[in-house]
C-alpha cells in the first residue's frame, strides 16, 4: 500500500535540479511528482517515478546520493474538507506527518497527495476508518 519515493541529495548550486531531471529523462524514466526540500546549503529532491528501481540504479550510476523511502499516495475526493479529515485522523492517532505534497493527475475531480509519515502501517490503519486506501506502486504506474 505504499509507493517508493526517491530522495536525492542536491548541492545548492544552479543547474543541479535540471541535471537530475535530465538524467531521468535520458533514461526513459517518467517523473510523476516532485517536491524540493530546501536547507540553506543543500536540497533534497523527492520524486515519484514510474520505475523506482530502475531510476535508483540510473541515478546511483550517475553519481547521485539517494535513498528510497516508502510513502503514502492518497487519492483525495475533490470536495471541501477532505484534506482536513485526513490530517485530523492522523493527528488523533498520534501519527507524525513529516511532509506532504501534491501529485498532479489528469483525472478530473480527484487530487492525489503524497504523505510521509512516521509509521506507514499505523497510518494505513487509521485511514481505513475513512475508507481511504493508499495507492500501491502499480496504481501509480497506470496513472
Question: H/E element holding 59?
Answer: helix 52-61
72 binds another protein, rule: CB under 8 A: no
Only one of the segments 10-18, 48-56, 83-91, 107-115 lies at the binding site for another protein (rule: CB under 8 A); that segment is 10-18
**Using rule CB under 8 A, residue 2 touches another protein:** no
From 25, 26, 42, 129, residue interacting with another protein (rule: CB under 8 A): 42
Tell me if 111 contacts another protein by CB under 8 A. Answer: no
Within 80-109, the residues that bind another protein by CB under 8 A are: 98
Range in contact with another protein (rule: CB under 8 A) among 5-13, 25-33, 82-90, 119-127:
5-13
* Inter-axis angle of helices 16-26 and 52-61, nearest 10: 120
Q: N- to C-terminal Cα distance for the chain? A: 16
16 lies in the site for another protein, by CB under 8 A: yes
Identity of the residue, 132 or 134, whose beta carbon is nearer to another protein in the bound complex: 134
- Give dist(CA 93, CA 85) in Å, integer: 12
Residue 44 is placed in which grid cell? 533534497
Q: How far, in Å, CA of 77 to CA of 22, rounded?
A: 33
Minimum Å gap between C-beta 35 and another protein is 11
**CA 127-131-135 angle, 5° bins:** 70
Amino acid at each position: 500500500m505504499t509507493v517508493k519515493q526517491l530522495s536525492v541529495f542536491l548541492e545548492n548550486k544552479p543547474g543541479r535540479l535540471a541535471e537530475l531531471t535530465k538524467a531521468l529523462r535520458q533514461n526513459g524514466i517518467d517523473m510523476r511528482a516532485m517536491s524540493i526540500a530546501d536547507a540553506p546549503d543543500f536540497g533534497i529532491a523527492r520524486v515519484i517515478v514510474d520505475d523506482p528501481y530502475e531510476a535508483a540504479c540510473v541515478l546511483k550510476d550517475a553519481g547521485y546520493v539517494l535513498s528510497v523511502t516508502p510513502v503514502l499516495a492518497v487519492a483525495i475526493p475533490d470536495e471541501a474538507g477532505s484534506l482536513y479529515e485526513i490530517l485530523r485522523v492522523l493527528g488523533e492517532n498520534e501519527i507524525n506527518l513529516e511532509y506532504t505534497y501534491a501529485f498532479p493527475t489528469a483525472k478530473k475531480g480527484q487530487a492525489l497527495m503524497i504523505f510521509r509519515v512516521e509509521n506507514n502501517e499505523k497510518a494505513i490503519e487509521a485511514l481505513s476508518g475513512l475508507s481511504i486506501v493508499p495507492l500501491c506502486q502499480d496504481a501509480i504506474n497506470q496513472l
